[in-house]
Structure 1
Amino acid sequence: MAALASLGVVAATGTAAATVSGDGGNRIGVLTGGGDAYVKEGGLSAGWIHELAGVRQVALSGDRIGVLTNSGDAYVKEGGLSAGWVHELAGVKQIALSGNRIGVLTNSGNAYVKEGGLSAGWVQQEAGVKELELSGNRIGIVKQSGEALVKEGGLSAGWVSELNNVIGLDLSGLRIGVLTAGGDAYVKEGGLSAGWIHELANVKQLELSGNRIGVVTGGGDAYVKEGGLSAGWVHELAGVTQIALSGNRIGVLTGGGDAYVKEGGLSAGWIHELGGVTELALS
C-alpha cells in the first residue's frame, strides 16, 4: 500500500495532499491498489462505475469528478458518472475541486485555479506551494516554507496568513483547519482572522465537512465531533489510515485496505464498500 502522503491525506511526517472530504453530496470514490478509480452515486450499497485506470488521485465535488493520472495529467468530468473526460493540465501533482472551481498544483509548485466551465482559463494563485485547497469562495495554500494562507472572494483576492509550521490545511464553509508539524490540529470558524481552537494532539490527518471535524491519530484511531469547535469527540474506529467526511456521511480506510462508510449519526453502523483500496473520497 502506498504511503500516507500519497493517499490524499495529511501525514505528520510527510507532505500534505488534497482533502478527501465533501460537503453533503451522495458520491463515493475509491482508488484501488492497481490505480483504478471507481465512483458510485446514491445509497451506500449502490454499484461502482469504473472511471479510469492509471490514476493516483481522485477528487469529487457535486457532479464533478477529477482524477490525476500516474503521468501527471489532470482530467475532470461533469455530469453523470459515465460522462467524458476533459483534459485540464499536464505536469500536475495535485488536483482540487469545489463547486465550479478547479485547482491544480504543478510539479514545479505553482498553484492555479479556474472558475466556471471545464475549459475556462487558469489563473495563477501562488508559486512555491506544496498543498492547494478549495471550498466555496475560499482558496487555501500551504507554502513550501510551511506558511498557510487563505483568500476569500475572487480568484485575484489577496492572501491572509493563517499560521506557520503547517503541514496540512483543510477548508469547509467558514471553517479552516490546520495540522502542524508537531501533530497538533487547530480549527477556526468565521473570518479569515478568527482565533484558533486547539482540537487534538498526536494527529496525522484532519478533515472538515460542515459542522463535523474528523481526525486520525498517530495510533490509527479515527474520531469525529459534531457541532461547535469545542464539542466532544466520538471514537469511530481503530486501525484507520484515512478518514473522509461529507454531510452526514463518514468514511474510513483501514490499514488492510478496506473502505467503510456510515450514514447518519456519529454512532451509526458501518457499511463495507470495497477492499484493496488506497484512497477514499466523498462528495
Structure 2
Amino acid sequence: MNLRTLSAVAAVLALAGLTGASTAHAVPGTVSGDGGNRIGVLRANGDAHVKEGGLSATWVKEHDNVKQVTLSGNRIGVLTGDGVAWVKEGGLSASWVREADDVKQIALSGNRIGVLKDNGDAYVKEGGLSATWVKEADKVKELELSRNRIGIVKGNGDAYVKEGGLSATWVREHDNVIGIDLAGNRIGVLTADGVAWVKEGGLSASWVREHDDVIQLELSGNRIGVVTDRGNAYVKEGGLSARWVHEYTHTIQIALSGKRIGVLKGDGDARVKEGDLSARWVLEANNVTELALS
C-alpha cells in the first residue's frame, strides 16, 4: 500500500471517528496543475484514464497497472506497479517513453521531469523526454516540481527548496514536514502536527499558518486547498489571508488547477468544478483512487 492509499485510509478512519484529530498523513505527489484542460484519474483496478477539454469530454485509457498518475501541460506521467516511470508528450494517444526504473514517485512541471527512486535518491531532468538525469539529493521521501523550483522533504522531515537551474543551491525551508507543495512563487508545507503553512515570494519569505488538522495541502496559482482530518475540503482564493470556502465533505483528496477544483470522495467518486469557488460540481468518474489535474 503506497503513502497516498495510506492517507486515504487514514482520512476515512477520521471520518468515522476512529483516529485522533491530531494525526496528520500527507498526500504526496503532484496532483495539481497550473490551468491546463486535462483531468486524470486512477481507477481502483489500476487503469489510468485522461480526458482533455471540457468537464464532459471523453475519457481515454492511457495505461494499466498504474499506482500514480500526474499531468503537466501536454505531458502525462505514470508510475506502474513494477516501479517504472513512463512519460508521454503531445496528444492523449502519443507514445510512452520509459524514463526510469526502481521509482516510487514521479513529478512533472513544464519541461521538467522528476523521479524519486526506491533508495531515496531524487533525480530531475530538464528539456526533452530523453534529456540527461541530474541527481538532486539523497535520503528524500517526497519530491515536488514547479516551473523553476524544486522541493524535497528529507527522511528526517527537513524541507528544502531550490530556485533556478538544476544545480542551484538548496535552501532549508522548514522542519518536521510530511508534505510539500509548490506553485509559482508559493511554497506550502504540511507539518506532522497537521498544520498547513504557506509562504509567498522569495525562498526566505515568512511563513503564514493557514489551517490546522490538515491531511493534505495543495497549491495552484492564487488558490490554496486543504483537506482536514474530518474529510472537509476547503479552498481560498487571493492572498494568504483570504477567507476559506467550504467545498465538500467526506473528501480524501483535493486537486487544483487554474479555475478548476477537483475532489475525490471516500466512496471513490471524483468530482470537478470549473469557475468560481461556488461553481457547480460535475461527477467525472467512479471507483477512483487518485485524481490529477493539469
* TM-score bucket of the superposed structures, by smaller chain: over 0.9
- Cα 1:120/1:61, change in 2 over 3 Å: same
Provide structure 2 residue ranges, at least 5 long, that are not aligned to the other structure.
12-22
Check the 8 A contact 2:185/2:200 in 1, yes or no: yes
Check the 8 A contact 1:101/1:115 in 2, yes or no.
Answer: yes
1:81 is the counterpart of 2:92: yes
Which contiguous aligned blocks of 4+ residues in structure 1 show a shift greater than 2 angstroms? 2-16
* Correspondence for 1:132 among 143, 147, 153: 143
Is residue 235 of structure 2 the alignment partner of residue 236 of structure 1?
no
Whether 1:217 and 2:228 are equivalent positions in the alignment is yes
Give a deviation string over 1:112-140, Cα, whole Å, max 9, x none: 00000000010000000000000010000
Q: How much has 1:5 moved relative to structure 2?
A: 2.6
Deviations 1:53-74 (A, max 9, x none): 0000000000000000000000
Structure 2 Cα separation of the partners of residues 101 and 16 of structure 1: 21
Say which of 103, 108, 120 aligns to 1:97: 108
Distance in 2 (alpha carbons) for counterparts of 1:133 and 1:224: 21
Separation in 2 of the partners of 1:157 and 1:7? 33
Is contact 1:32-1:279 (8 Å) kept?
Answer: yes
Could you tell me the TM-score, scaled by structure 1's length? 0.97
Deviation of 1:14 (Å): 4.2
Q: Secondary structure at the match of 2:179?
A: strand
How far apart in 1 are the matches of 2:107 and 2:284? 23
> 1:231-273 CA deviation, whole Å, 9 max, x = no partner?
0000000000000000000000000000000000000000000
Task: Give the Cα separation in 2 of the matches to 1:123 and 1:185.
Answer: 30
Pick from 147, 150, 175: which aligns with 2:186?
A: 175
Using the TM superposition, give the Cα deviation of residue 19 of structure 1 relative to its aligned residue in structure 2, in angstroms: 2.2
Given candidates 273, 277, 281, the residue that maps to 2:288 is: 277
The residue number in structure 2 matching 1:57 is 68
Aligned residue in 2 for 1:151: 162
How far the C-alpha of 1:166 sits from its partner, in A, is: 0.2
Task: Please tell me whether the aligned partners of residues 7 and 278 of structure 1 are also in contact (alpha carbons under 8 angstroms).
Answer: no
For 2:69 and 2:49, locate their aligned partners in 1 and report how far apart those are by CA, in whole Å.
Answer: 9
Q: Match of 1:37?
A: 48
* Superposition deviation, residue 98 in structure 1: 0.3
Q: Which digits, 9 at most, give the CA deviation of each residue in 1:128-186, with x for residues without a partner?
A: 00000000100000000000000000000000000000000000000000000000000
Q: Which residue of 2 aligns with 1:5?
A: 4
Consecutive unaligned residues of structure 1, counting only runs of 5 or more, are none
Structure 2 counterpart SS, 1:199: strand
Amino acid at match of 2:4: A
Equivalent residue number for residue 211 of structure 2: 200
Residue 185 (structure 1) aligns with: 196
Kindly tell me: are residues 7 and 259 of structure 1, through their superposed partners in 2, closer, same or farther at Cα, counting changes over 3 Å? farther
1:195 aligns to what SS in structure 2?
coil
Query: Percent identity between the aligned chains?
Result: 69
Contact 1:6 1:17 in 2 (8 A): no
SS at match of 2:113: strand
Tell me if the contact between 2:124 and 2:136 (Cα under 8 Å) persists in the aligned partners. Answer: yes
Q: Give secondary structure in 2 for the equivalent of 1:5.
A: helix
Q: Is the 8 A contact 2:30 2:108 kept in 1?
A: no
1:115 and 2:126 matched = yes
Q: Number of aligned pairs?
A: 282
Q: Report if the CA contact (8 A) 2:27-2:216 is conserved.
A: no
Q: Distance in 2 between matches of 1:161 and 1:115?
A: 23
The alignment yields a C-alpha RMSD, in angstroms, of 1.5
